[in-house]
Amino acid sequence: MNRYVELEEMLQFRERKARIQEELRGKYKGLVTMTLAMNIPGPIKTSGDILFAFEEGARSLEQKVTDFGIIIKEMVGVSENAGFMKFYVLDCANPVLVKDLAVGLEETHPLGRLWDIDVYNIEGISMSRASVSAPARTCFICGQEAKGCARNRTHSVEELMHKVESMIRDYQRHQEE
């Protein structure tokens, strides 16, 4: 952990995500699938703090889904230098409902901004935030639309990495109180 990620590792990580997603969709036809990954800027995608935030995301997401009465049929975890991912197959055929739950968690949990929860319909197509009338993700630093800040490189990688570390440590301190 705490090792810089090479471009080739990131590309392989994305390919692995697509392959696992497709395998699960083929195995569980007609069910919604979902992935949890981390939204971490910069060249370091794994650390003890990032793992903590990821595990909190998995716990929170699993609790949210099961509290709503949705059964998790299968879970597959991936841990590589390029990041952490967890795949879920849900005993549910309503991707809009699941996306709404996921966006709610991303928007309300103190670490939710660090999570990237993708929901796929039964054809394997990713559900957008717009499909549940949710606003675009906002920037960690300034609160503007995140894609714009990323495209324009409004904030330095160091500034973004520091903000991520701060968010996680603040949450950890709050949990200890």
Per-residue pLDDT tens over the stretch 15-57:
999 999 999 999 999 999 999 999 999 899 999 999 999 999 9
Q: Are 85 and 143 in contact (CB under 8 A)?
A: no
Taking the C-alpha atoms of residue 165 and residue 84, their distance in angstroms, rounded to an integer, is: 16
Q: Are 37 and 45 in contact (CB under 8 A)?
A: no
The first and second tokens of residue 8, run together, are 């080739």
Position 172 in a domain: no
Position 97 in a domain: yes
Position 108 in a domain: yes
Position 144 in a domain: no
State the CB neighbour count (10 A cutoff) for residue 58: 17
Domain of 65: which CATH number?
A: 3.30.70.260
Position 168 in a domain: no
CA-wise closest residue to 24 among 124, 109, 118, 95: 124
Position 45 in a domain: yes
Position 93 in a domain: yes
Name the domain count of the chain.
1
Taking the C-alpha atoms of residue 7 and residue 92, their distance in angstroms, rounded to an integer, is: 36
pTM of the model: 0.93
Q: Which pLDDT does position 72 carry in this prediction?
A: 98
Q: Are 17 and 80 in contact (CB under 8 A)?
A: no
DSSP helix/strand/coil, 51: helix
pLDDT in tens, 125-143: 999 998 898 888 989 899 8
Q: How many residues does the chain have?
A: 177
| Segments of 62-104 assigned E as strands | 72-80, 83-90
Position 173 in a domain: no
Q: What is the mean pLDDT of residues 101-121?
A: 96
pLDDT in tens, 55-79: 999 999 999 999 999 999 999 999 9
Q: Which pLDDT does position 166 carry in this prediction?
A: 95
Give residue 13's domain range.
7-133
| Whether residue 82 has pLDDT greater than 90 | yes
Taking the C-alpha atoms of residue 172 and residue 78, their distance in angstroms, rounded to an integer, is: 23
